[in-house]
Amino acid sequence: MNRAAARQRGHMGAIRMTTSLRVGIAGLGTVGASVIRLLERQAEALPARTGRRIVVTGVSARDRSRDRGVDLGGAKWFDDPVELARSSDIDLFVELVGGDEGPARLAVEAALSSGKSVVTANKALLAKHGLSLARLAEQKKVALAFEASVAGGIPIVKTLREGLAGNQISRVYGILNGTCNYILSRMEQEGLSFEECLKDAQRLGYAEADPTFDIGGFDTAHKLAILTSLAFGTAVDSEAIHVEGITSIRLEDLRSADELGYRIKLLGVAQRTPDGIEQRVHPTMVPKSSAIAQVMGVTNAVTIDADAVKELTLVGPGAGGDATASAVVADIADVARGIRSAPFGLPSDALEVAPRKAMQRHEGGYYIRLSVHDRPGAAAAIAMRMAERQISLESIMQKASAKQRAGLPSGAPVPVVLITYATTEATIREALDAAMGDGHIAAKPQVIRIERE
């Protein structure tokens, strides 16, 4: 036997003698079943990487009789996830139930209080209770790991918390919801309406029967709250996030964006400003030349602006059983190795309550689509309202041709698009309110922020 083989045999012998890590999994849906399959596929590789065998010894789900396509014969069944969390049969509790209250919160708190490490994919729970759960984990000297809670298979949590520890981060932003990115991509590429694309997303399983959480921007907001804490060392503050969804986006907006050299994406953006931490979720025009503009379909992407690495973009699958399971198993492996980091990068007592920057003070360029009554002086009056507030217009585009206007009744509304240079949200809103008061605008204006490189 050569030396390398002897070393490998000795290593494997040491693994066999090491105590196994006993895992309890609550929630056996798509992700939970995928975690079990992945652990089975990597049953030999994981001990070599972590020094411990990883064994699922307990499970909990609502329906005991359902066939999930995985072998649960070696695991004890618990009808109550809280009972599983407290059980002496497990060392590590994996929470895949979902929801910010109820069984998920009770079970995670029970596991941590019992001195067990926790792995979770639950962004809603962390966005609402992350700070208190981090404190409890630190008090009990156990791990609270949540790589799977943001951007699926993209290792963004470890990147921010560990990989970029030597950087000062100024901004983190990204496409954090695959459903919205799928809808906007289909609308742009195929010229379909929002309603048609949403129905397709529901048929394919990308959107729920009630899609409000996704298309309203709330899922993105929960994920952004976690990223903000990791990036800036602040207490999780989901209430500070300005949230807009994509339900108002129309084909004419996507076409105008294309003409101007942009794409529209639903972004979650967090950035440090002189006034505080700005957190916002809304449709955004991004330059086609940017890395994030190339991300189409259900894929996610996160861009980090930092002083040492400058700009770093991570792209990958943001959802799905295998992608999310990959992140869950990575956290399980860390626990098996004995790795325990402060959940949000700093001890919970060191996380600052950062001053909130009001959305009204956000500065940037704006795309504004107006439905303007086609009569003399209307466009000039709107431009005057902008000038009164020192808003500089980069361009004004009349989106109806002379032929189209000729076919409309006298004074009927026509589409007009304004592009502004950098100004504040409050100033834009004031000018539009004044123009609405003048009676020149026939419908609520469409306002989309522009993120220039």
CATH of the domain at 121: 3.40.50.720
The predicted structure's pLDDT at residue 410: 58
The predicted structure's pLDDT at residue 397: 83
Please name the residues in contact with 344: beta carbons below 8 A apart, sequence gap of 6 or more.
130, 131, 134, 161, 229, 230, 233, 236, 351
Q: Residue 242: which H helix or E strand, with range?
A: strand 242-243
Q: Are residues 257 and 366 in the same domain?
A: no
Q: Are residues 417 and 433 in the same domain?
A: yes
Question: Pick from 149, 283, 295: which is nearest to 215 by CA?
Answer: 283
Residue 345 lies in a domain: no
The predicted structure's pLDDT at residue 405: 54
Under-70 pLDDT residues of the chain:
1-18, 399-411, 453
Q: Are residues 167 and 265 in the same domain?
A: yes
Q: What is the DSSP secondary structure assignment for residue 162, as one 8-state letter?
A: I
pLDDT digits (tens, 9 = 90+) for 301-352: 999 999 999 999 999 998 889 999 999 999 999 999 999 999 999 999 999 9
Read out DSSP for 20-69?
PEEEEEE--SHHHHHHHHHHHHTTTHHHHHHSS-EEEEEEE-S-SS---S
Q: Are residues 49 and 142 in the same domain?
A: yes
Q: Which domain CATH number covers 242?
A: 3.30.360.10
The residue from 149, 166, 201 where one domain ends is: 149
Q: Which one is catalytic: 223, 265, 310, 357?
A: 223
173 phi, psi to nearest 5 deg: -155, 160
Give the Cβ contact number of residue 393 at 10 Å: 16
Residue 178 lies in a domain: yes
Q: Are residues 176 and 310 in the same domain?
A: yes
Q: Are residues 7 and 134 in the same domain?
A: yes
The predicted structure's pLDDT at residue 198: 95
Residue 444 lies in a domain: yes
Euclidean distance between CA atoms 182 and 231, whole angstroms: 27
Euclidean distance between CA atoms 262 and 257, whole angstroms: 5
Residue 344 lies in a domain: no
Q: Are residues 140 and 201 in the same domain?
A: no
Is residue 223 annotated as a catalytic residue, yes or no? yes
The predicted structure's pLDDT at residue 200: 92
Q: Are residues 126 and 220 in the same domain?
A: no
Please name the residues in contact with 239: beta carbons below 8 A apart, sequence gap of 6 or more.
none
Q: Are residues 209 and 303 in the same domain?
A: yes
Instruction: Find residue 242's DSSP bridge partners.
Output: 280
Contact 417, 397 (CB under 8 A): yes
Q: For the whole model, what pTM was predicted?
A: 0.90
Three-class SS state of 375: coil
User: Residue 365: exposed, middle, or buried by beta-carbon count in 10 A (0-12, 13-18, 19+)?
Assistant: middle
Residue 341 lies in a domain: no
Q: Are residues 298 and 386 in the same domain?
A: no
Domain that holds residue 401: 361-450
The residue from 103, 134, 149 where one domain ends is: 149
Q: Are residues 145 and 161 in the same domain?
A: no
Residue 335 lies in a domain: no
Residue 131 lies in a domain: yes
The b/e string for 186-216 (b: 16+ C-beta within 10 A; e otherwise) is bbbeeebebeebbebbeeeebbeeebebbbb
Q: Which domain CATH number covers 415?
A: 3.30.70.260
Q: How far is CA 333 from CA 74, 110, 157, in A?
A: 20, 22, 15
Strand order of the sheet with strand 117-120? 76-78, 54-60, 21-26, 92-95, 117-120, 144-145
Question: How many Cα atoms within 13 Å fall on the side-chain side of residue 131?
Answer: 16
Q: Are residues 134 and 29 in the same domain?
A: yes
The predicted structure's pLDDT at residue 407: 56
Contact 107, 78 (CB under 8 A): no
Euclidean distance between CA atoms 70 and 28, whole angstroms: 10
User: Residue 298: exposed, middle, or buried by beta-carbon count in 10 A (0-12, 13-18, 19+)?
Assistant: buried
Question: Pick from 226, 225, 206, 204: which is nearest to 214 by CA?
Answer: 206
Residue 68 lies in a domain: yes
Domains: count for the chain = 3
Contact 207, 201 (CB under 8 A): yes
Read out DSSP for 311-337?
EEEEEEE-SSHHHHHHHHHHHHHHHHH
Angle at 335 between CA 329 and CA 338, to 5 degrees: 145
The predicted structure's pLDDT at residue 452: 76
Look at strands 276-287 and 446-450 and give their pairing: parallel
The residue from 149, 180, 213 where one domain ends is: 149
Euclidean distance between CA atoms 164 and 393, whole angstroms: 39
Contact 122, 225 (CB under 8 A): no
